[in-house]
Chain A
């Protein structure tokens, strides 16, 4: 049996092709990012440090807040800004709420139609109108919360290097809490439904993962990276552990961790910090056995929606009665900083060097989708082999392959501008 498939994947952010070739029981696959290069890092270099987050947030429209926060953190670290505690908490809440929103978009708009045999959201509406309605409501509530926190849904404007530029009065925080309470109710229902989905079986090609360290709880902000082998290293040392490989066929790069293919994302977060999801033990224990299946990324994302909403609400309730101090002094100085953040799609690294006049002399961005690229290829190979054994037709291969890719939730505008470390 000899077979060449080039599948243009829809329902992902950006332009992506997956090439699977099957030649005499040898399966090969290629993850080809056809998105145009935009040379973001080269553009950032030479500009003033406060321009970097503005450009970085425009790397990707879907996770612009994650890029923004990572970029801002990197600059703050480079300049040695010490943020007040309240600002750090609010920043964390901002990240969590946008993860909830992004996961909701991914679940309802991109991934779920596959599992109800619908080609698009419109068709899903005919099959399961209740679920779609709930999804819409959940998404719009999350959007509302993001809007209130970040000022805009895409490209935030309430934060600058050194802290929030907007006052968060009690009324406003209460408003956000109201919105999150409504979202929480919906999220509970939705998680129940998603947990009951039947996902295809697939074994993990490589159990290695990387995740941003969460010093407390789940998804809190830190500056270390943790690997599946228990190694913990500071963000600035990433180039020692994460190696790059140039690929000739894709505008994205391929990464390995200590020579091994690894994955990042919701599944990695759950593997590392799953036991810290307080109040959701029931779901976690159900999932823990299934986490070696890449398809289960989907279910983890659903649980994360519920957790991030709950946790953000609790954090905001702590903040609401306080007089918030949200800004720190920023002094220009020479330095090097790295921003480590868990973006919706996994570990995100922004690394800048700033000179004494405040210009960025070096910029590097490593995005989750780029780190996942090899892992996706490997998974696709495993899937191809499995389907070959089961003697499935070409249509089934196409269908399952694109479902697999969607389960990873790749985001190609992010992946496309990856850099050679010097």
Chain B
């Protein structure tokens, strides 16, 4: 790390000086920091540094703007500072001086019996209103260790401005996680936390944040691969990740090799996958089937995994995929006796499964998610194809079952079974919110919402028609 001499100034406006007191309280640590990183505090009157400069590398500003003089002072500070950092609630939000808004001019009358002697009072306002602030330390008062850590980071060049998407500086804290199916590429991560949110919503808690403040990173517990944690491989984190930092194993390469060989593979496509893709691309599902043939698939079969299910108990809990199977096994072990194996996928030789479900990638190397298929089809002009019918439709073979769709329904129904409220029947669990149609491998829609609603209506009708016309029960 190249060490450069940093010149620091600490200024204060209207405030209680508590944040500077905290910095003062660092004592020996502060002096150690200055020595180690060759930092010079040029201006901090509290510590006796009074040589003001024309240019600073970092300026910390404590307190809110509460007089006209402050505005001028602040603008001058901004001009001098390469990096301006707001200290604490007052400078960031207005804090206690900000409360002056409520009392107004009467307040000055009340306290001073007239005009405030020194300085023309304005309502206490955050400094962010007048100047651009590069970073802020929150709190009333600030956390002194966070201050120390931030100065260190700046000295090492590993820092970012507030709101900036630069995370390469904290590489040392980021952990790449390689699983068989899901992996985390930490260098792409922007720490938005959406993956954590959805994982928490399912009640799985396989992923969370590690470290604090500027060092924050996203990881599984103990940086274990996803398979070793409570992760159920639903793949929703991958679907929710806006930058592709969490992703699943791609089988596009495998499938393309297969398509290039002499014997053409068979495409098994699930209902939900077909429907979602048609919706996302805003085309007739028949056109996708034509496009699949055009890609080089020999046959296209619309298929449901529930078609191969064997029910054995009086009460059957049927997981729609390996994800729900792992979910029940993990979180409701006492219900294992009712649990049916997830639909076995006995696809023929040289067949490709196109599915909305990331967990089905456990079944082999030729499993495409809808999103992957979308990528493969992106070069084709879907609109120009004529709709065609699939070669075969294999429908589910179980009837009269109860569906539990989404994490809350799944949890509710499993609790009911646990308490003995449900004693017989068949329950199919779909853990993804809104079921398979919102599965982890589903594509992102390009159309606006209103178009999507229309599209879904039309699409459902079409799929139903297709289904009725070519249904073939084994």
Question: Contact residues of A with B, CB < 8 Å?
Answer: 8-15, 32-43, 45-46, 55, 58-62, 64, 105, 109-110, 113, 119-123, 125, 133, 135-136, 139-140, 143, 153-155, 246-251, 413, 417-420
Is there contact, CB below 8 Å, between B28 and A136?
yes
Q: What range describes how many residues of B lie at the interface?
A: 35 or more
A37-B119 contact in complex given A11-B46, A105-B24, A154-B141, C-beta closer than 8 Å? yes
Q: How far is the CB of B38 from chain A (nearest CB, A)?
A: 13
Q: How far is the CB of A16 from chain B (nearest CB, A)?
A: 9
Which residues of chain A come closer than 8 Å to B108, judged between CB atoms?
37, 39, 42
Residue B112 contacts which of A34, A413, A420 (CB distance < 8 angstroms)? A420
Is there contact, CB below 8 Å, between B111 and A10?
no
Is there contact, CB below 8 Å, between A120 and B47?
yes
Asked if B5 is at the interface (CB within 8 A of a chain A CB), the reply is: no
Interface positions, chain B 11-48, Cβ under 8 Å from A, are 12-22, 24-25, 27-28, 31, 34, 45-48
How many Å lie between the Cα of A122 and that of B107 in the bound state?
Answer: 42
Which residues of chain B come closer than 8 Å to A55, judged between CB atoms?
96, 99
Which residues of chain A come closer than 8 Å to B13, judged between CB atoms?
36
User: What 0/1 pattern do residues 315 to 337 of B give for CB contact below 8 A with A?
Assistant: 00000000000000000000000
Which residues of chain B come closer than 8 Å to A12, judged between CB atoms?
45-46
Give the interface centre of A11, A46, A110, A417 by most chain B CB atoms within 10 Å: A11
Q: How far is the CB of A192 from chain B (nearest CB, A)?
A: 21
How many Å lie between the Cα of A420 and that of B299 in the bound state?
Answer: 91
Residue A246 contacts which of B97, B113, B119 (CB distance < 8 angstroms)? B113
Enumerate 20 A-B pairs (CB-CB under 8 Å) in ascending A order: A15-B12, A35-B14, A36-B121, A38-B14, A38-B124, A39-B108, A60-B17, A61-B16, A105-B21, A122-B49, A136-B27, A140-B25, A153-B22, A154-B22, A251-B116, A413-B15, A413-B17, A418-B111, A420-B111, A420-B112
Is there contact, CB below 8 Å, between B96 and A38?
yes
Give the interface centre of B27, B46, B113 by most chain A CB atoms within 10 Å: B27
User: What 0/1 pattern do residues 43 to 57 of B give for CB contact below 8 A with A?
Assistant: 001111110000000
| Closest chain B residue to A35, Cβ basis | B14
A42-B103 contact in complex given A136-B28, A417-B111, C-beta closer than 8 Å? yes
Residue A109 contacts which of B47, B63, B124 (CB distance < 8 angstroms)? B47
Is there contact, CB below 8 Å, between A109 and B46?
yes
Is there contact, CB below 8 Å, between A61 and B17?
yes
Which residues of chain B come closer than 8 Å to A250, judged between CB atoms?
117-118
Is there contact, CB below 8 Å, between A38 and B100?
yes
Residue B45 contacts which of A10, A154, A155 (CB distance < 8 angstroms)? A10
Which residues of chain B come closer than 8 Å to A133, judged between CB atoms?
28
How many Å lie between the Cα of A78 and that of B467 in the bound state?
Answer: 80
Q: How far is the CB of A113 from chain B (nearest CB, A)?
A: 6
Which residues of chain A come closer than 8 Å to B31, judged between CB atoms?
121-122, 125
How many Å lie between the Cα of A61 and that of B20 in the bound state?
Answer: 8
Is there contact, CB below 8 Å, between B118 and A33?
yes
How many Å lie between the Cα of A10 and that of B66 in the bound state?
Answer: 21
User: What 0/1 pattern do residues 98 to 128 of B give for CB contact below 8 A with A?
Assistant: 0110110011101111001111010010000
How many Å lie between the Cα of A113 and that of B50 in the bound state?
Answer: 14
Q: How far is the CB of B105 from chain A (nearest CB, A)?
A: 10
Is there contact, CB below 8 Å, between B103 and A59?
no
Is there contact, CB below 8 Å, between A413 and B117?
no
Q: How far is the CB of A244 from chain B (nearest CB, A)?
A: 10
